[in-house]
């Protein structure tokens, strides 16, 4: 029963962070679940894959409410969404397959590197940038967009995130207004999470090391606890965000991501060196 409270607490933290920093909860959920699963005795060979798969499953629920809110404000480019979704779906499925091929230590190492990259990006995000152009003015053709979508889906599934950290910079680079880039990115979170989590279910279905209450690499007690509290606390985080300096918030979160990234890299780099 006590683990339910742990998962509820994690959902509350992830939801608050999502509201505060405007990012998906995967950047918090995946590292936290790795530590929780390790402490509860789950096999090191599957715990990282379970953390990523479970994170993707939670994003299915949280992204629905996010898309609803952004669409109500007219901030979702549905033409772009339907154009890029086939690439997203294929890439996310392949991302689950790729993650299954990686040993847990390598997967944690990659997540650590990704956390530091996101920390640097978030730390620099307060710097002045060029004004955005109108939505879609400089977007590439259909084929490059679909290929880019495949790459985004692939990376998002490997890291257990909704893809906002990848989609928003990509669309902004081509002149999409920030509000529409964020709204459209939220919509992409749904196909990424559906395809990616299904892939993690299939890849881990016959794994004998998984604990009870698992479907492949998705662990349902953690999923339920996180979802129940994250949706509620996302609203709290968004409310608090309006009362605190955005720049200071981003720097604090960037520091947290750096600590997480360095820990994952150091721990698993030593492990991999020891195995060589």
Query: Taking the CA atoms of the chain, what radius of gyration do you get in angstroms?
Result: 18
- Tens digits of residue pLDDT in 178-200: 778 878 888 898 999 999 999 99
Compute how many other C-beta atoms are within 10 angstroms of the C-beta atom of residue 262.
Answer: 14
pLDDT score at 272:
60
The angle at the Cα of 247, spanning 242 to 253, to the nearest 5 degrees, equals: 95
Confidence of residue 131 (pLDDT cuts 50, 70, 90): very low
Confidence of residue 23 (pLDDT cuts 50, 70, 90): low
Confidence of residue 133 (pLDDT cuts 50, 70, 90): very low
Return the closest-CA partner of residue 31 out of 228, 265, 274, 211: 265
> Exposure pattern of 114-128 as b/e (b: 16+ CB <10 Å)?
bbbebbeebbeeeee
Return the closest-CA partner of residue 192 out of 150, 228, 140: 150
Q: Are 122 and 257 in contact (CB under 8 A)?
A: yes
- Tens digits of residue pLDDT in 45-95: 999 999 999 999 998 888 887 788 778 878 889 999 999 999 999 999 999
Residue 215 has φ and ψ, to the nearest 5°, of -120, 100
Residue 257 has pLDDT above 60, yes or no: yes
pLDDT score at 67:
82
Q: How far is CA 270 from CA 11, 48, 101, 116, in A?
A: 31, 17, 21, 18
Residue 25 has pLDDT above 60, yes or no: yes
Return the closest-CA partner of residue 41 out of 204, 210, 260: 210
Residue 81 has φ and ψ, to the nearest 5°, of -60, -50
Extents of the domains making up the chain: 2-275
SS (H, E, C) 175-233: CCCHHHHHHHHHHHHHHHHHHHHHHHHHHHCCCCCCCCCEECCEEHHHHHHHHHHHHHH
Residue matched to tokens 């650590």: 112
Residue 32 has pLDDT above 70, yes or no: yes
Whole-model pTM: value is 0.85
């Amino acid at each position: 029963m006590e683990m339910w409270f742990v998962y509820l607490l994690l959902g509350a933290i992830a939801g608050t962070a999502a509201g505060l920093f405007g990012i998906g909860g995967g950047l918090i959920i995946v590292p936290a679940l790795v530590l929780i699963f390790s402490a509860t005795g789950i096999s090191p060979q599957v715990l990282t894959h379970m953390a990523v798969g479970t994170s993707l499953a939670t994003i299915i629920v949280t992204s629905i409410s996010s898309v609803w809110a952004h669409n109500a404000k007219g901030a979702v480019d549905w033409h772009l969404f339907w154009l890029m979704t086939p690439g997203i779906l294929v890439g996310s499925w392949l991302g689950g397959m790729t993650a299954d091929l990686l040993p847990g230590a390598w997967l944690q190492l990659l997540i650590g590197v990704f956390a530091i990259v996101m920390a640097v990006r978030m730390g620099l995000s307060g710097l002045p940038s060029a004004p955005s152009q109108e939505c879609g003015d400089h977007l590439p053709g259909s084929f490059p967009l679909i290929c880019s979508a495949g790459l985004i889906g692939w990376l998002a599934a490997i890291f257990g995130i909704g893809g906002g950290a990848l989609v928003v910079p990509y669309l902004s680079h081509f002149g999409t207004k920030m509000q529409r880039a964020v709204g459209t990115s939220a919509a992409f979170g749904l196909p990424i999470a559906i395809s990616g989590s299904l892939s993690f279910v299939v890849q881990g279905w016959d794994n004998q090391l998984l604990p009870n209450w698992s479907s492949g690499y998705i662990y349902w007690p953690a999923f339920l606890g996180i979802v129940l509290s994250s949706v509620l606390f996302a609203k709290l985080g968004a409310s608090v965000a309006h009362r605190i300096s955005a720049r200071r918030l981003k720097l604090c979160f960037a520091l947290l991501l750096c600590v997480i990234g360095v820990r994952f890299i150091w721990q698993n780099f030593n492990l991999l060196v020891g195995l060589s």
